[in-house]
Every structure is written in structure tokens, then in C-alpha cells.
Amino acid sequence: MKTALPSVDMPHYHKRHSGDVDEHATHISAWRQEYDQLSCGHFDGMVRELLLDGTRLQVFHEFTSQQTSQRCQPWAGSVWFGIPDGIGAGALHFSGRLQGEERQRVLLTARAQEGFLLCTPRRFGIYGVVIDEQWLGARFGELGLRGPLPQASGVAAAELPPHRHVALCQTLESMLSLGASGEASLPWAQQALRLLGEQLVRLLGECGADVAPAAGVSGSVQRRLAVVMAARGLVADPCNHLQSVDELCQRLHLTPRTLHNHFQSTVGESPSEFLRAVRLNACRRRLRGTADRAVKVQDVAAQWGFFHMGRFSQEYKDLFGELPSQTLRQARAADPCWN
């Protein structure tokens, strides 16, 4: 029996803007995500998203103005395909592997249950496709296509030829444009979306034939990534107060040189730079998430090991473009209990 395309009876389109990286991380429907802002300056983010038949098929375009670290997990049972739009430039790391210094034509793939890590450059745009993996595998089989589904490691990346990259981006942009038109529920638009969905599936399936086999994440890359994420978990934990790379190395049983090399190859940053940004982002999440009158900026800063308030306030302002006291005032102003 032929596998039908996901229904497009109830398409839902959303366009969401945000000036905060943590809020932006909530704007892709049905995902579990945590973003850290790594580069200094005001954050600007936008997500355009089209959901077809709930979350059976989800396509989106995401833009982030600042360098970010993103821990992502799509909805259960799905597989994610990411296609950078090629407009921005800079180093992109995907689950511990550098994807290139310049504009990349690459197809990134991850199973939902494994999740993935992205470290993005400034002014980065990426198209995303999330689709039920079991359905997609059956459809690839019917079409006689190998497809680029990841193997044992759960994540993979493959270079795309220019024509394939353009075709995928144009197909996804056409689907999003139909959603933005406000006419996606009309019969002609539903038929157009169905045809575009067929085209998208075929394009993804054909990627297995005209690109090199998708490179999974090797054991050494997985080990380096595990070390980096363990270090991140330690410093993101409040009241841990690991103040130096040397202390972190002692905890992880690594030399400073090894830890530095792991961070550079995995996220493109030094341990001190990356982990300071993680701690500052943790402080910001706490300040944005509370309207408690008893909470003070210095108490939040101390939870993540910042004990010199002048230096903390300056580093916070450099990264986010506002003082921590401003963040706390805005959180209280948005709480009805304070109004």
C-alpha cells in the first residue's frame, strides 16, 4: 500500500520575533531547546514555521543575529534535516564537528532521540525539516531512494552540490511563503503544499545518490563532545563555583592543553570564553524568570561564581547589551503581580 503524504488539512503558520536568545529557543514548536548567546551585542532572532497535520511534518527557517550554542531535541519519533541558507558566513559546528569556515552547502541530519548540538556563527540562517522517521523511511523505500537518514551515531552531515542546495532551499521557501500568504487552508493552496511536500521528500531522498555518504560522528568526536558537555554542565550548575580552567581540568581529569583542544575542535571557542558565556546566560535565565521581590542581582551573580559586581555587570552588559538590573526590572514589569 502506498504511503500517503502527511495530511495538509490543517496547516498552521507562525512567524515569531525575539530580542532574547532564551525566549527565541522556545519559538520552534514541540522542540526541547536551550540556547546560549556567545557573541556580544543585542540579540535578534526570527522563526518562520509551517506545521502540517500537527507536527507530522514541520518546516521552518530560523535566523539568529549572534553567535550561539544550541542544544536541540525535536519531537519524539522524528528525524531532523537542517540546510544552512548560505547567506551568512562563518564557522559552523554540528555535534562536535566543524562544517567549514565559509558559506556551506551542507545537509545536517539528526534523530530526535539523540538530539544534537549546534554552534552557529553570527547572522546565521537555517532551513529545517522535521518529519516522522518511520513514515519517511517507508516513503524512501517506495520511491527506490536511499535517502540520507543517519546511521548508528544518530547524527550525520553531508556536502550538497549547488543545484541540490538551491532546490531544497527554494522548495522550503515556497512552502513557507504559502503559509505566510494566509491562504494555506484554501483548496488550491493545500494542493500546492501537497505537491511541494512530494517534491521535498524526493529531493531529500535523492541526496543519498548525489552526495558523498553522510559522515556520522566518530568515536573520538563523541568523546570530545561528551567532555565539553560535561564541563558545560558543571559550570551551568548553580553554586558549583569552579572558578578556573585548572579546577575544571582537575575535576575532569584532563590536562589544560587537552581541554583547550577539545573545546576548539568541538565548539570553536576556548574553555574560558565558552564557559564564562554559559554562566552569564544562566544568570540571565534566572533574572528573566523571576519577579520575586527578594531576588537581588548580586545573589544571582554569586550563584554562578561572579563575586565582583562591577566586573560582572560590565561582562553581562557587553554580552547582552543591557545591565543585569535592567533585565530584572523588565521581568518584574512583565509580571502582573508587580503592576
Q: Minimum mean pLDDT among 47-61, 260-274, 307-321: which range? A: 47-61
Fold classification of 219-338 (topology level): Arc Repressor Mutant, subunit A (1.10.10)
Contacts of residue 237, defined as CB under 8 A and 6 or more positions apart, other chains included, come to none
**Rounded CA gap, 84 and 196, in Å?**
19
The average confidence (pLDDT) of the chain is 88
Residue-wise pLDDT for 195-209, tens only, equals: 999 999 999 999 876
Average pLDDT over residues 182-211: 87
Q: What percent of the chain has pLDDT over 70?
A: 89
Average pLDDT over residues 130-151: 89
Candidates 105, 103, 53; CA nearest to 83 is 105
pLDDT the model gives residue 213: 45
Over residues 25-54, the mean pLDDT reads 94
Write out pLDDT tens, residues 71-108.
999 999 999 999 999 887 788 999 988 886 555 789 99
Does residue 243 have a pLDDT over 70? no
**What is the DSSP code string of 52-86?**
ETTTTEEEEEEEESS-EEEEEE-STTEEEEEEE-S
What long-range pairs does 267-271 form, CB within 8 A, spacing at least 24?
Answer: 267/69, 267/93, 267/119, 267/228, 268/91, 268/93, 268/98, 268/119, 269/38, 269/119, 271/231, 271/245
Task: Kindly list the domain boundaries of the chain, sorted by start residue.
Answer: 12-216, 219-338
pLDDT at 10 over 80: no
CATH, domain range 12-216: 2.60.120.10
Give the pairing type, strands 57-64 and 78-84.
Answer: unpaired
Whether the pLDDT of residue 248 is over 60: the answer is: yes
- Band (58; pLDDT cuts 50, 70, 90): very high
**Per-residue model confidence (pLDDT) at position 7:** 47
Asked if residue 211 has pLDDT above 60, the reply is no
Letter string b/e over residues 241-265, b meaning 16 or more CB atoms within 10 A of that residue's CB: ebeebeebbeebebeeeebbebbeb
Give CA–CA dist 268/207, Å, rounded: 28
> What is the model's pTM?
0.90
Contacts of 14 (CB under 8 A, 6+ apart): 27, 29, 47, 48, 49, 51
Residue partners of 116: CB distance under 8 A and separation at least 6:
72, 73, 80, 94, 95, 108, 110, 155
Asked if 179 and 59 count as a contact pair (C-beta separation under 8 A), the reply is: no
Per-residue model confidence (pLDDT) at position 114: 84
Tell me what the mean pLDDT of segment 146-161 comes to. Answer: 82
Place of cell 533574572: 287
Q: Which pLDDT does position 21 carry in this prediction?
A: 96
pLDDT(158) > 70: yes
Amino acid type, 47: V
Residue 292 pLDDT exceeds 80:
no
